[in-house]
Amino acid sequence: MTDDSVLLCTDDNGVRTLTLNRPRRKNAINSTLWTALRDALDAAGNDRGVRALVITGAGGAFCSGADISAPDGGHPTYKMRMLTDVALLLHELPIPTIAKVSGVAVGAGWNLALGCDLVVATPQSRFSQIFTRRGLSLDLGGSWLLPKLVGLQQAKRLALLAETIDAEQARALNLVTWVVPEPDIDAFVASLGERLVAGASIALAQTKALLNEGADRTLRDALANEARAQAVNFATADAPEAFAAFVEKRDPDFTGLWSATAAGKSTANSERG
């Protein structure tokens, strides 16, 4: 994508960064940006070279929500269909996702961050479920995400009062994973991305899916899903590689390659040892 795009895309050693690029509007998402974001998430999920995804914003803000200042004239049904696509693509991406939040993250912008697996913010970050102040209700998955992350009562507080909270309050509510000083956030997120890229991609994907699905399943369902996922993991080259690296006292080199025979040998060795 070009520098004048509403969504910038950069790759660095397996980490893809998507930067919302409408700084004059604090990266409010208009129809063009919704489309670009949907397409970029779809592309990331289908690119084997992408092992982790970072979403951030340009110009000192993460995202001020959906841009309601410039209606596109389309029926709201189509707009909400686009938001649904973005929320589901982000939630179901088979790679770990990180929201790098500087400045404001409000409305759909905050829910975009909450849809990521990990959220890194700065002390200057501010958050709000601003919808009711705009005569609207939650969207981009907020009605599902908030109760799961903070419980029903706190979710109602955030949604009904549309309060603005700071990064430390958000972390106390389990809505932010880390609060990092502004000068350090780039290096922190880069290091975090490197750690995720170094992990076993198939195992990470299976683990992410299990955690996402487990929130709505019985223990019996969760155990069945865990057994299915582990069978997939044992059929990759990563499981025997991890065992060999442990024995040889070195870091593993995970590739995610399918290698059922090698996995079987490793399992046999593990059971004997």
Which amino acid, residue 8? L
- Strand order from edge to edge, sheet including 126-128: 104-106, 126-128, 164-166
- Closest listed residue to residue 44, CA positions, set 106, 1, 103, 105: 1
Looking at the DSSP bridge assignments, the partners of residue 66 are 29
Identify the CATH class of 201-272.
mainly alpha
217 neighbors 225 (Cβ within 8 angstroms): yes
CATH code of the domain occupying 7-197: 3.90.226.10
pTM above 0.85, yes or no: yes
* 27 Cβ contact list (under 8 Å, min separation 6): 20, 21, 57, 58, 59, 61, 62, 63, 64, 109
Looking at the DSSP bridge assignments, the partners of residue 20 are 7, 57
Tens-digit pLDDT profile for residues 147-189: 999 999 999 999 999 999 999 999 999 999 999 999 999 999 9
- pLDDT at residue 268 greater than cutoff 80: no
Decide whether 7-197 matches 201-272 in CATH topology. no
For position 272, what pLDDT does the model report? Answer: 29
* 73 Cβ contact list (under 8 Å, min separation 6): none
The angle that helices 219-234 and 201-214 make with each other, rounded to 10 degrees, is 170
Extents of the domains making up the chain:
7-197, 201-272
